[in-house]
Amino acid sequence: MEEKKQNNRIMEVKDITLRFGGVTAIEGVSFDILEGEVRAIIGPNGAGKSSMLNVINGFYHPQQGEVWFNGQKRGAMKPYQIAYQGIARTFQNIALFKGMSTLDNIMTGRFTHMKSGMISQVFWKGKAEKEEYENREAVEKVIDFLEIQTIRKTEVGKLPYGLQKRVELGRALAAEPKLLLLDEPMAGMNVEEKEDMSRFILDVNEEFGTTVALIEHDMGVVMDIADRVVVMDYGKNIGDGTPKEIVSNQKVVDAYLGVSHD
Amino acid sequence: MFFLDPFFYEILISGLLAGVMYALVALGFVLIFKASGIFNFAQGVLALFAALTLVGFQTGQIPFAHLLSLFGLHATHWGAGFPTIVALLFSLGVMVLLAWLIVQIVLKPLVNQEGIILFMATIGLAYVLEGVGDLMWGANVKELNIGLPEGPSEIILDATDMFIDKLEISAAIVAIVLVVSLTLFSQYTKMGRALRAVADDHQAALSVGISLETIWWIVWSVSGLVALVAGVMWGAKSGVQFSLSLIALKALPVLMLGGFTSIPGAIVGGLIIGVGEKLFEFYIGPLIGGATENWFAYMLALLFLLFRPQGLFGEKIIERV
């Protein structure tokens, strides 16, 4: 316990193994995420990176291993309970509420902060009313921060891809998470959009001190924004360190260039 | 010309009012389908069950009196019953409790199953509820009177010579109030937004902290409320009996027209069918032997299936390749 306090580990996965039937998606992977850092998870397609994120936010339950959050071992929890613990995320294939406006999408991100009861909501009196206005303010701040004021009322299904990604980030930010998980936040973006997104991620990290764990394929981006990198290949952890250490790691280079496994 | 005919307007209005009743039943289907992708075959039986429960509370019936008589308790009523408003609130409570039971016993074990399996489960649910309803309150035809005005509205009769039933006017008002409040609730409250969120994307909803079980409970409770209102209105019109559950069949063509995922669609679809079947019966009916009201709605639905399968307002079906 003392050791954890010193290092300020916000998240630690220990010896995680995840199988789907006969397929092993993750095999004995361990790593930690320190409070306040940007941690990247990289690796070739099918390496088990998204599965790892799904383990962290509770969509998948590993057959083996432990997940420690805030210095406490986590028992079996449902994804929505994990959201209440302060873990928010975005998805590889954008998962927005397509029929709802940008504003409403980001408002759902405030769900864990709204505590009013059903009766109060039905009659829109007391707590529910007050809460709507308070959380609306928090949402407007996120909208300003991400510079998406002009699309506030637009149905998100009608927005271009890059903006949808930004709204999805906004929904996760609105939760004011302790740990923010981003699954390929820059996939399919052009250079300019990638630069914008990198800037937002760094700003979130620096200004609000939010811990970020992200999966990314673009090595240039990873080099620029990550403090530490963990590399996965075939469901295993094959490298862990600063971006500099990673690029000089022979195992990692082999995995990316496709050298055969012995 | 037909639009100079005073009968035309009388038929038009009574068609609109009947349409509101159809829309009310269809609304219950749409709510559940949107939030969970389940076509709830039991919606009609829910309406019957709600109406039976209301009459039971109102008249002071003892639930399961027939079962109790096996143990030598022969009383069927415990007293004069509750006033209507109290009976309504208690019935709503029963529907909320029932919604919770349905989620726990039927939906939870079937999570992530195919839509067709859940559909089959709701067929089972319909039969169970029908049986339980009979067992609790008896199978006899019951009269339902909640004190709404009945008979032709004199004001309208004097002013325009048209014969419009007051009961139908009150039904329309209640339905409008219900739809407006549901819309406001889903637009401006946390749970309302959560309902829409779950309808759009389950995973994303979970990731922001929404519990699917809670949402399902709320959706089935709201459907129970809609069923209660529909059951009361139809029950006041034609008595509470088994055939009440068949109004669900009338909702099917409404859904074909309006689309399974659209609340405005359910309303407009209901109105079109209500008006369409009355006008068709009046103007075309005599030429082809009458009794067209039994099948007109289904024929219209068939035409829609052929030319616009997603309905008037439903989400367009696009297959991604």
Type of residue numbered B268:
V
For residues A213 and A13, the answer to whether their CB atoms sit within 8 Å is: no
- The ipTM assigned to this model is 0.87
Residue A96 to residue B201, Cβ atoms within 8 A: yes
The first and second tokens of residue A180, run together, are 């923010």
Q: What is the pLDDT of residue B315?
A: 65
Q: Chain B residues with CB inside 8 Å of A83's CB? A: 206-209
Q: How confident is the model at residue B320 (pLDDT cuts 50, 70, 90)?
A: low
Give the residue extent of every domain in chain A.
Answer: 1-86+177-262, 103-175
Q: What value does the mean pLDDT of chain B take?
A: 87
Question: Could you tell me which residues of chain B have a Cβ less than 8 Å from any Cβ in chain A?
Answer: 184-185, 188-194, 196-197, 199-201, 203-212, 218
Reported as a single tens digit per residue, the pLDDT across B185-219 is 888 888 989 998 988 888 999 999 999 999 999 99
Q: What is the pLDDT of residue A29?
A: 95
The DSSP H or E segment spanning A38 is: strand A38-42
Which pTM was predicted?
0.84
Tell me the shortest Cα–Cα distance from B223 to chain A, in angstroms.
15
Which residue of chain A comes nearest to B198, CA vs CA? A97
Helix (H, G, I), strand (E, B) or coil at A239: strand
Tell me the shortest Cα–Cα distance from B192 to chain A, in angstroms.
9
Residue B197 to residue A59, Cβ atoms within 8 A: no
Q: How confident is the model at residue A112 (pLDDT cuts 50, 70, 90)?
A: very high
Q: How confident is the model at residue A58 (pLDDT cuts 50, 70, 90)?
A: very high
Give yes or no for residue A68 having a pLDDT over 90. Answer: yes
Q: What is the pLDDT of residue B314?
A: 66
Q: What is the pLDDT of residue B78?
A: 80
**Residue A123 CB: number of other CB atoms within 10 A?**
12
Q: Chain A residues with CB inside 8 Å of B210's CB? A: 80, 108, 111
CB nearest to B208's CB, from A118, A121, A171? A171
Tell me the shortest Cα–Cα distance from B218 to chain A, in angstroms.
9
Give yes or no for residue B157 having a pLDDT over 80. Answer: no
Residue B208 to residue A59, Cβ atoms within 8 A: no
Q: How confident is the model at residue A230 (pLDDT cuts 50, 70, 90)?
A: very high
For residues B95 and B50, the answer to whether their CB atoms sit within 8 Å is: yes
**Residue B174 CB: number of other CB atoms within 10 A?**
17
Q: Give the Cα separation of B30 and B265 in Å (integer).
A: 9
The whole-number average pLDDT for the span A179-202 is: 93
Percent of chain B's residues with pLDDT above 70: 96
Rg (CA), chain A: 19
- Does residue B24 or residue B105 have the better pLDDT? B105
Residue A107 to residue B207, Cβ atoms within 8 A: no
Cβ within 8 Å of residue A220, ≥6 positions away? none
Tell me the shortest Cα–Cα distance from B194 to chain A, in angstroms.
7
Residue A83 to residue B206, Cβ atoms within 8 A: yes
Give yes or no for residue B281 having a pLDDT over 50. Answer: yes
Q: Give the Cα separation of B58 and B46 in Å (integer).
A: 18
Cα distance between the two ends of chain A: 38
The whole-number average pLDDT for the span A84-113 is: 93
Reported as a single tens digit per residue, the pLDDT across A123-164 is 777 788 888 889 999 999 999 999 999 999 999 999 999 999
Fold of domain A1-86+177-262 = Rossmann fold (3.40.50)
Q: How confident is the model at residue A4 (pLDDT cuts 50, 70, 90)?
A: very low
Q: Give the Cα separation of B106 and B104 in Å (integer).
A: 6
Q: Chain B residues with CB inside 8 Å of A175's CB? A: 208-209
Cα distance between the two ends of chain B: 52
Tell me the shortest Cα–Cα distance from A86 to chain B, in angstroms.
10
Q: How confident is the model at residue A6 (pLDDT cuts 50, 70, 90)?
A: very low
Q: How confident is the model at residue A203 (pLDDT cuts 50, 70, 90)?
A: very high
Percent of chain A's residues with pLDDT above 70: 96
Q: How confident is the model at residue B319 (pLDDT cuts 50, 70, 90)?
A: low
Strands A211-215 and A179-183: parallel
Q: What is the pLDDT of residue A38?
A: 95
- Does residue B71 or residue A13 have the better pLDDT? A13
* Ordered structural domains, chain B, with CATH: 11-138+162-307 (1.10.3470)
Give yes or no for residue A190 having a pLDDT over 70. Answer: yes
Reported as a single tens digit per residue, the pLDDT across B123-147 is 999 999 999 998 998 888 888 888 8
Which residue of chain B comes nearest to A57, CA vs CA? B207
Give yes or no for residue A228 having a pLDDT over 80. Answer: yes
Q: How confident is the model at residue B316 (pLDDT cuts 50, 70, 90)?
A: low
**Residue B173 CB: number of other CB atoms within 10 A?**
12
